[in-house]
Structure 1
Amino acid sequence: MNILTEKQKATRANKIAEAAWRLFETRPFAKITMSEIAKTADVSKGTLFNYFDCKESLFMTLLLTGYQQYFDEVIKLIRAKETLTKNDFMDLLLNQTKVLIETKPTLVRLNALRGPVLEQGANMAQTVSYREKLYAKNQELGEIVATRIPSLTIKDVSQLMLVQSAIISGLMNMSSLNSFNRHPIAKINFENFQINLVEDAVSVFRNYLTGKYPETFTR
């Protein structure tokens, strides 16, 4: 019997995750099959199901681990700053909104599927396990910011990250009204349905920040 060590299991899980991620970079979620993921990862379909009981569970895991990595990046940026004022933090949040959309488009696309698609089939226990890890990372970020900006609580920071995500996902869903299945609709001019995702997300988030925390975030 071939019994894998924990390290070998983690390596195989990462291999499966990377294969699924590569496919999702260029393909719609609905067009990707578990058989295709197994083939791309060079594992048997049976092995794949040993790690993830369905496609939704696999992609939910990709989403939650992807946002853990994103929070880690934000934490590193904050720790690298000698000082962090209220306006510094606001600027960082707005800049990171732009960075998130421009450098992590696959993660942003995946996040837009969380509620309407992924949670409909994902394994609850597995999802909760990874969500707990994401929550812990979110709280770590909140603690770091709240320590340096006493007027903000950990909950404040947590909510700001959630709002950032919600703004991006909402606008991303609406930005596709002038296309169908990621293909532009050429016969009809839907000019007024077009959304500049980066520009509009930053603008909406800025308005939220200055409206909710007028004394904290001044402009």
Structure 2
Amino acid sequence: MHVLTPEEKQAKKQIIAAAASKLFQEHDFNEISMAQIANESGVAKGTLFNYFKTKENIFMYLLLFGYQNYLTEVLFDWQNGPQITTWGQLTAFLLKQNHYLIHEKSDLLRLNALRAPILEAAADREQTLTGRAALYQISQELGQTIANSITELAAKKASHIFVIQSAIISGLMNMMNLDEFHHDQLPVDFKEFQIDLETEANQLLEFYLQGLQKELER
């Protein structure tokens, strides 16, 4: 019997996670079963449980790994783009990241909205801790890199900006579509409930950055 190496096990894990991610692009979380994920990934259902004990565990893995990738991409953009030394430049950079997160990482934001109310109830504690530790590490590295350029901004505050960014966008997404129920339009006019996600996420992030700048100046 062939015993998989750690590298082969990680590759298999990535295949399963990629299959779950594909299904999540096409279906709501509650519509996806472990059997569907096993079928999509091409592994036996019993094998699937050797890697992830629950569906929630798979999607928690996707969430944490996805945010690690996102912050790594932000770090790359910061290090390889035009030099940023002012608050105005920092704000423009972060609004650009807002656009990218909303339009290219929408599934990650959907997963983030599921984290506390759904995923944590059945996700593996140790695996989640490992994922969060890796996420924290890249967050700290990103924060320090930004702080090296914006001298009045401490690394801790810089890394925290991305927590606020995610909270703003996920919160707004959670409040969207109040004029719908189960994707069906309600026969009422709820104009005040309508949200322009990117515009309002940008406004809120700018308000936060302005407040943060004033706080540091004091």
Structure 1 range deviating more: 57-66 or 88-97: 88-97
Alpha-carbon distance between aligned partners in 1 of 2:118 and 2:180, rounded to the nearest angstrom: 20
Which region of structure 1 is more displaced relative to structure 2, 183-192 or 4-13?
183-192
1:27 corresponds to 2:27? yes
Q: Which has the higher contact order (CA 8 A, sep 6+)?
A: 1
Greater Cα offset, 159-168 or 186-195: 186-195
Q: How does 1:31-180 map to 2 (within 5 A)?
A: 31-86=31-86, 87-180=88-181
> Comparing 85-94 with 109-118, which one deviates more in the overlay?
85-94
Deviation at 1:88, TM superposition (A): 1.3
| 1:3 match | 3
1:108-131 deviation line (CA, Å, top 9, x unaligned)? 111111111111111111100000
The residue identity in structure 2 corresponding to 1:105 is S
What amino acid is the match of 1:33? S
Paired residues in the alignment total: 216
TM superposition shift of 1:213: 1.4
Return the TM-score normalized by structure 2: 0.94
* Deviation per residue, 1:150-170 (Å, 9 max, x gap): 211111012111000000110
SS for the counterpart of 2:103 is: helix
Q: Secondary structure at the match of 1:114?
A: helix
Please identify, of 145-154 and 33-42, the stretch whose mean Cα deviation from structure 2 is larger.
145-154
The structure with more helix, counted as a fraction of residues: 2
The TM-score, its normalising length taken from structure 1, stands at 0.94
Q: CA RMSD for the aligned pairs?
A: 1.5
Partner of 2:194: 194
CA distance in 2, matches of 1:119, 1:215: 34
Q: Which residue of 2 aligns with 1:14?
A: 14
Distance 2:199 2:216 in 1: 23
- The answer for the alignment partner of 1:214 in structure 2 is 214
Structure 1, gaps ≥5 residues long: none
Q: Shift in Å at residue 192 of structure 1?
A: 1.8
State the identity as a percent: 43
Amino acid aligned to 1:140? E
The one-letter code matched in structure 2 to 1:118 is L
Cα deviation per residue 1:51-80 (whole Å; 9 max; x = unaligned)? 111011110010001011110111011101
Give the superposition deviation at 1:214: 2.7
Distance 1:133 1:176 in 2: 34
How many Å apart are 1:82 and its aligned residue?
4.7
